[in-house]
Structure 1
Amino acid sequence: MSKQNVVVLGGGGSGAHIARALSAKLDQSRFNLVLVTLADRYVHMPALVRLTVDTPDTKYLEENALISYDHLFIGGKGTVKVGKVVSIDRDEGQSSGVLKLEDGDTVPYAFLVVATGSKWEGPLSELNVSNTEGFKASLKAWRDKFAKANDIVIVGAGPVGLELSGELRDTYPSKNITIVHNQELPLSDIYPDKLRKGIVKGWAARNIQFVFSDSIEGDLADGATTVTTRNGKTITADVLVSARGGRPNTELLQRLGSDVLDENGRARIDQYLRLANFTNIFVAGDITNYKEVKQVAKYPGHVSVITSNILSLTNGGQPKSAYKGTFEAVLLSNGKASGIGYLGKLWGLMFGKTLVVMAKSKDLFVSRTRGLLGA
């Protein structure tokens, strides 16, 4: 009897870790483990914002935050297929199916994990560059753009926009930096006002300006030196950066049924993190419709549940591990020497720059992540 495939689609903050966890325990005599990924390396997302700005850490991060898949599988028990998947198909009358790639290749699956992440705008959109050298070149283009600018406008005061502004301020003490956000305070109202007001205070202390309850649509026109907000405010701008947050990358799931996605384009899941109405397709990371802020720090919980359930199914059992979520928390770097944090336990715990710098800002969890991925 030929071996079947357990396939993980997406090699990011949830997919790569699921592939590694499965490699430790999957019965290799009966199953092949395959990671299918668009890019030829893992990108450690918390470090990506700093990589778009020219800092003393640029060389270190290029060497360490872009992580090869060479040692991802424990004992080498798995293979990596780099390519763009254009469709997920099911075999007629069967639960198994096949991934079809742009180059014409196919990858059959008996069990599938879809962890395709988010689609980003601005500097984070460079994640779509498939080869590492091209990716580095794209990041350098952003560094050069920021270096030449005097007035930088960032659209979105979520974690990406806030941390980008802090990195820019570290490198460029005198440039004008403005963040335009469509709410009354930074982040979203899932977080308490004491955190959001603390962000305003901490970022304003570094001469980072905010424009709240407003937005900017589109890009900076060629040759333009100003942008106009929805409310009619004119802001001087050499560079306009979209940091509006990611959108779920779920187009591939659409052909599996009209009811697999919710109204926000996220994958409907059951308690076992399986795609709704499917027994052998699991969903992880940003694309699930589980009600939680999408953060890579939460995805070890996804990894544990999905790995346990796939192992049970491959051994003839039923899924037993249910995903129950966790509390909300956030650590925001404001450059390397400042930041703010929040832990949604007890009465809501706030953290100042000392803890945030120690925990995150200096290394951005790069060393820890490399260890977790066997690098």
Structure 2
Amino acid sequence: MKNVLFVGYGPSAVQAAKDLVGSLPADYRIVAITSNEGYWPPAALRAAVVPGWEDKPLACVDAAFPQDGRHVMLKMTNVVELRKNSVVVDKAHPDLGFEADEIPFEYCVLAMGSKYPYPCRPHPSSSFSQTLDDLRQTQSEVSRSQQILIIGGGPVGIEFAGEVASHYGKGTKEITLVHSRERLLDQSGWKEKLGRSLRGQLEGYGVRVVVRRKVVDAPEKTGRIEGGREFHLDNGEAIKADFVFLATGNAPNSDLVASFDSSVLNDSKHIKVNSAFQVEGYEHIFAMGDVTDVKEGKQYAHAKNHGSIVASNILALIQSPSASTASLKSYKPGSNLILVSVGPWGGAGQIFGFVPGAWFSALVKSRSLFVSDFKKLYNVA
């Protein structure tokens, strides 16, 4: 069997596999390698705060995987080395026909996503049950804490602040969000009105928002601090907290590629791909999703579209191995859009230049966090 190998099995990879499975020649199969079960970051923050939500961002990858006998899912497995025509994994799977730890491929799809502190991503190599336990533990820690410090005022920090404030109610907990930049969401492309709306909603819940300041002695990970302690801003101010949430540190999960060929990474460590999602210099290796240098927001709506393009191009190359990149399907980066929740009934966004507020955000995203789309993609009822 010739292998079309996936490294990572997040939403973009699931979409690509679904598009491939019905059209692959009989001598080809999909081999998917994933260190975790399916995970849905948009629902993870609520799952870490609100009891009863812990199962919402989780799905077993088996249900989303083609089950016609040919294809192979290697769960709880890590790729430790990428080679030109094979990968090395951290364990053999003799029960699935892989006696050795090296797996050859005809085509490889790199879909490792991005690195972000827990709970935006599960702890590495966590099982389904362990991730459930972790989220319940975080819910308990948040419940027992009174002074919550959130470091980072991007979408993740804003959404976590909104989840805690809306779930527990104004004045119940002392919540402080510290952001190093001039205003919330002040990156290029986002209107000032967007950050202003989100800040106003947070402050309406009693959240204290501090901008243009850094926490100089931040802890290494999110979690409860028994007894509390003081943290210091770069202006000397002290903030006491017994729970700290880190909303910084988002980065492409490209270490595997860096050790293979660092020349295919840009300055921000994203993988350089062409319009067909082929990795620069390697026509048989594709990359998609958050790990790529595609000039668009790193969002599920875009990544899902990547999957269909990659699947189409792999099929084209199987049918005509000498096909040029010019003959493959080309991807046009998606529009600049975002929706940021502030609890289940608030939020704001920017869509095609418009800045809708709480009512629209609640209707489209905040109440559901697109959980039904995630479950449908992974074939979970």
TM-score with structure 2 setting the length:
0.89
Instruction: Tell me, yes or no, if structure 1 residue 101 matches structure 2 residue 105.
Output: no
Q: Counterpart in 1 of 2:270?
A: 266
Q: Counterpart in 2 of 1:94?
A: none
1:129–1:135 contact (8 Å) kept in structure 2: no
Report the residue type matching 1:265 in the other structure. K
Q: How many Å apart are 1:75 and its aligned residue?
A: 5.3
Q: Counterpart in 2 of 1:209?
A: 208
Partners of 2:132 and 2:11 in 1: how far apart?
19
Q: Counterpart in 2 of 1:88?
A: 82
Partners of 1:74 and 1:81 in 2: how far apart?
13
Q: Counterpart in 2 of 1:32?
A: 29
Q: Map Cα deviations across residues 99-124 of structure 1 (whole Å, 9 max, x no partner).
A: 11112523221100001111112422
Q: Map Cα deviations across residues 39-60 of structure 1 (whole Å, 9 max, x no partner).
A: 1x211121111110134x42xx
1:58-97 matched pairs, under 5 angstroms = 58=53, 61-62=54-55, 64-74=56-66, 76=68, 78-82=71-75, 83-90=77-84, 97=85
Which residue of 328, 334, 338 maps to 1:326? Answer: 334
Q: Map Cα deviations across residues 171-218 of structure 1 (whole Å, 9 max, x no partner).
A: 222101111111111123221111111111121111111111112243
Q: Counterpart in 1 of 2:302?
A: 298
Q: Counterpart in 2 of 1:157?
A: 153
Q: Counterpart in 2 of 1:195?
A: 194
Q: Counterpart in 1 of 2:131?
A: 135
Q: Counterpart in 2 of 1:369?
A: 374
RMSD after superposition: 1.9
Partners of 2:183 and 2:23 in 1: how far apart?
46
1:23–1:73 contact (8 Å) kept in structure 2: no
Partners of 1:205 and 1:267 in 2: how far apart?
41
Q: Counterpart in 1 of 2:111?
A: 115
1:203–1:334 contact (8 Å) kept in structure 2: yes
Q: Map Cα deviations across residues 249-308 of structure 1 (whole Å, 9 max, x no partner).
A: 111002322311111111111121111110111111111112222112211221122111
1:87–1:101 contact (8 Å) kept in structure 2: yes
Cα pair distance change 1:233/1:125, threshold 3 Å:
farther
2:60–2:128 contact (8 Å) kept in structure 1: no
Instruction: Tell me, yes or no, if structure 1 residue 307 matches structure 2 residue 299.
Output: no
Cα pair distance change 1:367/1:326, threshold 3 Å:
same
Secondary structure of the corresponding residue to residue 263 of structure 1: coil
1:166–1:334 contact (8 Å) kept in structure 2: yes
Unpaired runs of 5+ residues, structure 1, are 91-96
Superposition misfits of 4+ residues, deviation over 6 angstroms: none
Q: Counterpart in 1 of 2:180?
A: 182
Q: Counterpart in 2 of 1:93?
A: none
Partners of 1:126 and 1:71 in 2: how far apart?
19
Partners of 2:311 and 2:167 in 1: how far apart?
42
Which residue of 231, 235, 242 maps to 2:239? Answer: 235
Q: How many Å apart are 1:78 and its aligned residue?
A: 2.6
Secondary structure of the corresponding residue to residue 238 of structure 1: strand
TM-score with structure 1 setting the length:
0.90
Q: Counterpart in 2 of 1:219?
A: 219
Unpaired runs of 5+ residues, structure 2, are 93-100
